[in-house]
Amino acid sequence: MKSKIASKSSARSPRSKPRPVKPANEGSGLAVLALLLALSIAAAWYVYAQGWTLWYGDAQAHLNIARRIFDSREPGYEQIGTVWLPLPHVLMLPFVQSDALWRSGIGGVIPAALCFVLAGWFLFQAVRRIFSHAAPAAAATAAFALNPNLLYLQGTPMTEAMSLCFALGLLYFCARFRDTRSPLDASLAGALACLGTLTRYEGWILLPFAALYFLLAGGEKRWRSVLLFSFVAALGPLYWLAHNWILYSNPLDFYNGPWSAKAIYQRALDRGLARYPGDHDWPKAWQYYRAAAELCLGTPLAIVGIVGLLAAVIKRAWWAVLLLALTPAFYVLSLYSSGTPIFVPQLWPNSWYNTRYGLNALPLACLGLAGIAALMPTKLRGAVAALLVIVAVSPWIAYPRKTTWICWKESEVNSAGRRAWTQEAAEYLKPRYHPGAGIFMGFGDATGILRVAGIPIRESLHEGDGPMWLASAARPDLFLWQEWAIATAGDKVSTAMNRMRRGPRRYECVRIYAVKDSPVIEIWRHIQ
């Protein structure tokens, strides 16, 4: 009797032999996939109908980077740029070639929404394997998919849904490998990890732990599995280092180059900006990330998730807990090392910025919720799972207002000024601009003016056009021929334009848009 109990218990350890796997219930998996797809489409349509699709500045930037790869003076690979990883833009590329999908933002929503669907499906399949029961898996998936902050983000061209998709895909194939010891599962786990490293940088921190997992769980042929996983997964970081080395002569340009978060922060400090909360302060870094996570998840799910992690460990799912905890740990480390700021309304400076990073704790909390359900007796498991889901979504049921969705609120507050001047500038420029006249500008928020006005990006000369743009910024008197310019007060374009107020080729500032808590936008036109 003791030997049977020991055998059953050890079956959940990564070091154990492959255990027999019951045939998967394909029907339930397909039903979950269909429900997730319906939910995703409904949420994305609601976001679009309300006009929220491009409220996040980063959403518009991702959309325009994908568009400029083919719609530029110098189209091609180099338009991928640096700092932001390339996969989201590559996934958007087939869709943003349509003018309608680019201008509406839907071209960037489609891949994000599909990744949301896959993320939920991966979570369901992984938790069902980990706890050997569908009820905990369904509860985890429901708590994940019904989170309004995630539903909002997957309805925009943001990268959070994509990152969660690849992280949960890695979790799923790790769970499969525990049962099968198949080299194919190790390779597929590596492929999902590789895609994650090309989506967001938190995907990089998962690779060493996942490799260690395959070493512990691989049995007699563990080294084959480790090498397969590591070879495939490492292709992502190696490619990105090579990309930066070849194009920017610095393999770490994304980390310490002139447009890196580190360099931008240092320039802000040099101008007298106060240090970010958490900068080389572990307690404060943890405090701010915890606050953001609680706002994104809702207090009930945050509490249930923390308590449930103990249950997950009791059920021998410690490896899954560690894997999903690595991404939140990455953000605490980023706050400490000053690479990433997070501002929340209840803590100084009492504003909204990067609150969405708290969503990375959502899979971990959902695993904890599933762990509680898995500990229940079989007869009670379904009822307890349903009750836990109700508890998890209770804040959104009790207060069904969009202002309680912290990610929506952040985008609404931070985009108000940008939306105002983008619309006004587009309405001014659209009837006056003639194809071929040319627009000199930086590639940033102002590119949204072109999108709203229906002007192709190739009509502009922007920073992604390399030497042409640099020459025009340095010596506009010699190289600048564009009729129009769009500048942010104080930037290189504005400086160049001010130098052209006099001389044989003159420009005049014809419009200035000054909106509270927003940069001043200038429109210049050649007058002589």
Q: What string of DSSP letters covers 323-371?
A: HHHHHHHHHHHHHHTTS---B-TTSTT---BSGGGGGGGHHHHHHHHHH
The residue type of 479 is: F
- Domain membership of residue 17 (yes or no) is no
What pLDDT, on a 0 to 100 scale, did the predictor assign at position 458? 97
Say yes or no: 52 and 130 in one domain: yes
The domain in which residue 62 lies consists of: 24-398
What lies within 8 Å, CB to CB, of 394 at 6+ separation is: 298, 300
Say yes or no: 347 and 479 in one domain: no
Say yes or no: 234 and 355 in one domain: yes
Q: Residues 173, 185: contact at Cβ < 8 Å? A: yes
Q: Residues 363, 328: contact at Cβ < 8 Å? A: no
Number of domains in the chain: 2
Place of tokens 């998730």: 305
For residue 71, the 8-state DSSP code is S
Domain boundary among 341, 368, 398: 398
Half-sphere exposure of 524 (CA within 13 A, CB side): 28
What lies within 8 Å, CB to CB, of 266 at 6+ separation is: none
C-alpha span between 248 and 321 (Å, rounded): 38
- Domain membership of residue 271 (yes or no) is yes
The residue type of 74 is: E
Residue count of the chain: 528
Q: Residues 156, 109: contact at Cβ < 8 Å? A: yes
The CA-based angle 304-308-314, given to 5 degrees, is 170
- Domain membership of residue 516 (yes or no) is yes
Q: Residues 193, 214: contact at Cβ < 8 Å? A: no
- Domain membership of residue 11 (yes or no) is no
Half-sphere exposure of 523 (CA within 13 A, CB side): 21
**pLDDT tens-digit profile, the chain (528 residues):** 444 444 333 334 455 555 544 445 666 889 999 999 999 999 999 999 999 999 999 999 999 999 999 999 999 999 999 999 999 999 999 999 999 999 999 999 999 999 999 999 999 999 999 999 999 999 999 999 999 999 999 999 999 999 999 999 999 999 999 999 999 999 999 999 999 999 999 999 999 999 999 999 988 889 999 999 999 999 999 999 999 999 999 999 999 999 898 898 998 898 888 999 999 999 999 999 999 999 999 999 999 999 999 999 999 999 999 999 999 999 999 999 977 899 999 999 999 999 999 999 999 999 999 999 999 999 999 999 999 999 999 999 999 999 999 999 999 999 999 999 999 999 999 999 999 999 999 999 999 999 999 999 999 999 999 899 999 999 999 999 999 999 999 999 999 999 999 888 899 999 999 998 899 999 999 997
What pLDDT, on a 0 to 100 scale, did the predictor assign at position 25? 61
Say yes or no: 390 and 422 in one domain: no
Say yes or no: 355 and 445 in one domain: no
- Domain membership of residue 406 (yes or no) is no
Say yes or no: 297 and 339 in one domain: yes
Say yes or no: 455 and 350 in one domain: no
Say yes or no: 386 and 486 in one domain: no
- Domain membership of residue 407 (yes or no) is no
Six-digit token string for 252: 């770490």
Domain boundary among 398, 426, 455: 398
Alpha-carbon distances, residue 323 vs 60, 101, 166, 240, 363 (angstroms): 31, 36, 13, 23, 10
What pLDDT, on a 0 to 100 scale, did the predictor assign at position 307? 96
How many other C-beta atoms can be found within 10 angstroms of the C-beta atom of residue 400?
9
- Domain membership of residue 85 (yes or no) is yes
Residue 116's closest CA among 59, 62, 60, 155?
155
Q: Residues 112, 53: contact at Cβ < 8 Å? A: no
User: Residue 125, SS3?
Assistant: helix
Angle formed by the axes of helices 362-375 and 106-131, to 10°?
A: 30
Say yes or no: 54 and 83 in one domain: yes
What pLDDT, on a 0 to 100 scale, did the predictor assign at position 502? 86
C-alpha span between 208 and 261 (Å, rounded): 24
β-sheet bridge partners, residue 1: none
Say yes or no: 168 and 305 in one domain: yes
What pLDDT, on a 0 to 100 scale, did the predictor assign at position 481? 94
User: Residue 486, SS3?
Assistant: strand
Terminal Cα-to-Cα distance of the chain (whole angstroms): 96
What lies within 8 Å, CB to CB, of 76 at 6+ separation is: 69
C-alpha span between 178 and 218 (Å, rounded): 8
Place of tokens 């492929």: 191
Phi, psi of 401 (to 5 degrees): -125, 140
- Domain membership of residue 6 (yes or no) is no
How many other C-beta atoms can be found within 10 angstroms of the C-beta atom of residue 182?
14
Say yes or no: 476 and 342 in one domain: no
Task: Find the radius of gyration of the CA atoms of the chain.
Answer: 25
Say yes or no: 510 and 394 in one domain: no
Domain boundary among 371, 398, 425: 398
Half-sphere exposure of 241 (CA within 13 A, CB side): 6
